[in-house]
Amino acid sequence: MSEHALRKQLEFYRDLGFEELFVRPSEAEQASGLEDSTADAAPGAEVPVQRAPAPAPPLDEPPAAAPPASEASSQHLSPLQVIQEDIGDCTRCRLHTGRKTIVFGSGNPNAKLVFIGEGPGADEDAQGLPFVGRAGQLLTRMIDGTCERIGLPIRRPDVYICNVVKCRPPENRAPELDEMEICGQFLFRQVKAIQPKAICVLGGTAAKALLRPGVGITKLRGNWTEWGGIRVMPTYHPSYLLRGYNPEGKRQAFEDLKEVFTYVYK
């Protein structure tokens, strides 16, 4: 490739927001084990969902008959907060043993678009927020870069982001089928509470959770499908795109995101 063509190619990827074209940890990083700890603080707009304390009843009113416990605890809570409340300090599957924090989700609770990843990694487990480590930083650039490129004023805080399982699997292994089934009930409720116009599933695990289990992400990506009456676009997981020199994968992921954002917001 000529220098001119190479420069154009690099500019193209930079414009898409893909600054990290070929990520190989430096020797220094490898030696110090820092490879996967480059997460910065989450973008300012994203904080774990806080629940407002329930207001105390006025003192001069006799207390009304106590509502059933489920009703009492769902008062003043948004639909997503009710789900979070139901998850509680969950021990429903074995993943609870290795987690520090349950990573519920982040972003706009009324988003028209929901991104679904696999499960929290070390950075997410530490911060309690999805996609804040290296893969998360690439996801941010993919979202912001795509929208910028197609002239949309949409940025990461405008969408909603969550994972199939809410607790970090040990050694970053893929969640197992039973874990996905148990935790998936919360994912499905989350999506139904948000009622987005479309869903973008990131990678094979999320695709398996929502779509036909037997088909790999390479086959699925780029083609609209459907879950519960909502359009679903499968694409590659940002971790996969970080895993080596893969310009074709990045180009395809950009095409997929362009399709999704155009459908949802244009």
Give residues in contact with ligand URA (CB under 6 A): 117-121, 124, 130-131, 133, 135-136, 163, 239
Radius of gyration from C-alpha coordinates of the chain: 20
Distance CA 67, CA 87 (A): 21
Closest distance between ligand URA and the C-beta of residue 255, in Å?
21
DSSP letter string, 131-188: S-SHHHHHHHHHHHHHHHHTT----GGGSEEEESSSSPPGGGPPPPHHHHHHHHHHHH
Which residue in the block uniquely carries the two structure tokens 């519960």?
Answer: 228
> What, of ligand URA, ligand SF4, none, does residue 92 touch, CB below 5 to 8 Å by kind?
ligand SF4
123 sits in the region (left: phi over 0; alpha: psi -120 to 50; else beta) called alpha
> What, of ligand URA, ligand SF4, none, does residue 87 touch, CB below 5 to 8 Å by kind?
ligand SF4
List residues bridging with 199 in a β-sheet: 114, 232
Which tokens sit at 258?
A: 């362009």
Closest distance between ligand SF4 and the C-beta of residue 180, in Å?
9
Q: Which is nearer to ligand URA, 152 or 253 (CB)?
A: 253
Closest distance between ligand URA and the C-beta of residue 122, in Å?
9
> What, of ligand SF4, ligand URA, none, does residue 107 touch, CB below 5 to 8 Å by kind?
none
Q: Which is nearer to ligand URA, 107 or 117 (CB)?
A: 117
Q: Which is nearer to ligand URA, 107 or 121 (CB)?
A: 121
> What, of ligand URA, ligand SF4, none, does residue 182 touch, CB below 5 to 8 Å by kind?
ligand SF4
Closest distance between ligand URA and the C-beta of residue 57, in Å?
39
Which tokens sit at 27?
A: 């020797």
Residues that bind ligand SF4 (CB under 6 A): 87, 90-93, 95-96, 102, 165-167, 179, 182-183
> What, of ligand URA, ligand SF4, none, does residue 38 touch, CB below 5 to 8 Å by kind?
none
224 sits in the region (left: phi over 0; alpha: psi -120 to 50; else beta) called beta
